[in-house]
Amino acid sequence: MKEQGIRQRISLEEIIEVLEIIQKASDSYFYVLDLSYDIMMVSQSAVRRFAFPSVHVENCSAVLKEIVHPDDYDELSKDIERCASGKQTLHNMEYRWCSRDKQVVWIECRGTVVISDDNHYLLVGRVREIGKKAKADNVTGLRKEVRFREDIDRILTKNPQAIKYCMRIGIDNFKEINEKDGLDAGDNILHELADCIIETVHSGVDIYRLVADEFMIVDACPESTDKAADIYQCIKRKVAEMVRKKEYTGFYTVSAGVLEQEEEFVGKKSEDILRLTEFALNEAKRNGRNQMALFDRNAYNEYLKRLSIRKAIRLDIANDFHGFQVFYQPIVDANTYKLIGAEALLRWKDEKYGNVSPAVFIPIMEESGLIIPVGRYVLWEAARTCKKWQKTIPDFHVNVNLSYVQIRKSDLMHDVDRCIKEVGIEPNSLVLELTESGYIETDSRIMDLFQELKEKNISLAIDDFGTGYSNMRYLEDISAKTVKIDRSFVLQALENEYDYTVIRYIIDMVHSIGSSVCMEGIEYEHELEKMKRANPDMIQGYLFGKPCSAEEFEEKYLKDSL
C-alpha cells in the first residue's frame, strides 16, 4: 500500500535557504534530493570532502554511484527508490562513501520525504560522518584526544612559548582493576581521577582524556603559576586519600610523564607531544610506577637508537644473517694449557653503527624475540665448526650461550635435537651456557629443560657465576657440568684475599658435586699464576686468546693439523 508523503507546501528555494543557515552551525552535510528529477543540492562542505561537481548536482544517481562505496550502492538505490515511489517517507542508512582523497568514510544518512508546492518528491536530510571520534567523553565529562589535538596544534602554531607543561597521567594498574572489579569500577575510578585533576589544576588549564586510562593536562594558562611537579604530587596525594577513604576497595596509583622544556614545544605538532609524553610516562612506569618522570631528550635519543638498531637487526636477519658472525674464544685445560674447546660468541656489524657490542645488541634481540632466530643461527654455526675442528682435536667441545627468552619462547630442545642430528655431532660436544639467575629454580620450564638435556647427554654450564644470584644449592640439582666464574669475580679475588678464599671454597664445593670450573677473563701471567692455585679445571681469557673468526682460530690454533 502506498504511504502518503508528507505534503509540505514549501518551495525548494525556501528549504535550501533554511539549510544554508543551519549548515553554518553544524559538522553535518545537508542535502535536498529531488526524487522526481534526479537532481540534488548539497552543502559546500560536502563538495569539499566528496567528489560532487558542485552544490547543484544534475544526474544525481550517476554522481552518487561514483561517491558511494560500490558494495553499498545497490542497497542505497533500493532505499531511494522506495522513497521515490512513495513506499516510505523516511530514509535512514549507515553506509560508506569515498572521499576525494580515496578514503572510505562511514556515514549516517537520514532524510524525510516531503512533497514540494510544485508536487516534486524531495528527500531532505543530513549526512553525518560516524567514523569521526567523539570529541567529548561521557565517562569523565572531559574533552577527548581529538579536541586535544585541535587545541594543542592551535597553540603550537600560534604561541608555543605559552605552554608551561604538558602532563600525561596514567593509572598504573588499570587493566587489573577492569579485570578484577569490572568495567563499572574502572569507569568510577576514571571519573574520580578526572575530578581529582580538575580540583588540582588552575581553572584555565585544559584537561583531556586520552586513550583508556590516560589523561593530558596542558597548562598554557597565563594566570597559572603552577609547577608540574607540585601538581603531580598533589594529584598523587589526593588519589591516595581517596583510596584510603574507600578502605582500599579499589586500590590504584598514578604515574605521570611531563614535557616542560620550551624547545620541545617549538616547531612541534600534536603527534610529537603525544609521543614524547608517552615516552616520559613509560619511563615513570619503568622506574617503578607511582612517580613522575620529566621527558629526557638523551634517554629518548637512546631509545630511538635502540629502535633503529632493532630495525637494522631485523633486516639483517631477513637478509640471511648479513652482518652477523660467530667468533670463537679458546678454552684451555688449566693444567696442560692444551686447547680443549671454544666459546661461540656472536658479533654483529652494521653499516651505520659499525661493530656493536653484544652487551648492546643481545638485550635488544631479547626484548624483541629476535634472539630466537639468531640463537638458532649461532647453534648451527657453532655445531658445524665444532664438527670440523674435531678432525684435529677429537673431543673438542663448543660452548653456546643461551638466553632465557629462547627457553621461554621457543622449542629449544627441538632445535638442539635437530641441530645435533643435522650436523652429525655427538651431544656431549655441545655445552649450553646459561647465565646464573634466580629464574633457574623458580621456572619449571628451565628445570624440565635441564632434565631433558641431562637425559640426552648434553652438557650445561652456568655462566657468569659470582655476578648475581650465586646460589650453591641449585648447582647440584641442575647437575651443571661446568661453572664459569666471571671475570669480575676473578678480578676481585686478585685484589682481595677474602674473595680469593671464597673462590677457592667455591671451586672445592663445585668439585665435590662432580662439576668442573672454568675461570673466565685471565689476561696476564701473574693472574694465571695466582688463580691456578685455586685449582680451576679450565681457563678462558685473553692470555690464551681473544675471540676471533673461525678462519683466524684455525690459522692460530689448528693450522698444522686441519
Interface residues with ligand C2E (CB under 6 A) are 329, 345-346, 357-359, 362, 371, 375, 378, 401-403, 433, 463-464, 487, 520-523, 540-542, 547
Q: Which of 433, 436, 537, 554 is close enough to bind Mg ion by CB under 5 A?
A: 433
245: how many CB neighbours lie within 10 A of its CB?
9
Which CB sits closer to ligand C2E, 115 or 528? 528
Q: Is residue 436 a contact point for Mg ion (CB under 5 A)?
A: no
Q: Binds 512, which of ligand C2E, Mg ion, none (CB < 5 to 8 A, cut-off by type)? A: none
Which CB sits closer to ligand C2E, 122 or 364? 364
Which CB sits closer to Mg ion, 270 or 459? 459
> In terms of residues, how long is the chain?
562
Which CB sits closer to ligand C2E, 385 or 401? 401
Closest contact distance (angstroms) between CB of 320 and ligand C2E is: 17
User: Which helix (H) or strand (E) covers residue 504, if one does?
Assistant: helix 497-512
Which CB sits closer to Mg ion, 219 or 433? 433
| Alpha carbons within 13 A on the beta-carbon side of 125 | 22
d(CA 515, CA 537): 10
Q: Is residue 403 a contact point for Mg ion (CB under 5 A)?
A: no
Closest contact distance (angstroms) between CB of 397 and ligand C2E is: 15
Q: Binds 542, which of ligand C2E, Mg ion, none (CB < 5 to 8 A, cut-off by type)? A: ligand C2E
Q: Which of 401, 403, 437, 482 is close enough to bind Mg ion by CB under 5 A?
A: 401
Q: Is residue 463 a contact point for Mg ion (CB under 5 A)?
A: yes
Q: Which of the 8 DSSP states describes residue 8? A: -
Closest contact distance (angstroms) between CB of 463 and Mg ion is: 4
The set of cell numbers assigned to 501 is 678464599
Alpha helix positions (H), 132-269: 145-158, 174-181, 183-200, 228-245
Which CB sits closer to ligand C2E, 72 or 523? 523
The set of cell numbers assigned to 481 is 657440568
Closest CA to 445 of 402, 390, 507, 488: 402
Closest contact distance (angstroms) between CB of 268 and Mg ion is: 45
Closest contact distance (angstroms) between CB of 450 and Mg ion is: 17
The set of cell numbers assigned to 499 is 674473595
Which CB sits closer to ligand C2E, 116 or 437? 437
| φ, ψ at 461 (rounded to 5°) | -120, 140
- CA–CA distances in Å: residue 361 to residues 298, 314, 353, 367: 19, 12, 11, 10
Contacts of 365 (CB under 8 A, 6+ apart): 310, 313, 371, 374, 403
Only one of the segments 55-63, 325-333, 455-463, 534-542 lies at the binding site for Mg ion (rule: CB under 5 A); that segment is 455-463
Closest contact distance (angstroms) between CB of 361 and ligand C2E is: 9
**Angular region, 60: left φ>0, alpha ψ -120 to 50, beta rest:** alpha
| Alpha carbons within 13 A on the beta-carbon side of 69 | 12
Q: Binds 124, which of ligand C2E, Mg ion, none (CB < 5 to 8 A, cut-off by type)? A: none
User: Which residues in this chain contact Mg ion in the complex, by CB under 5 A?
Assistant: 401, 433, 463-464
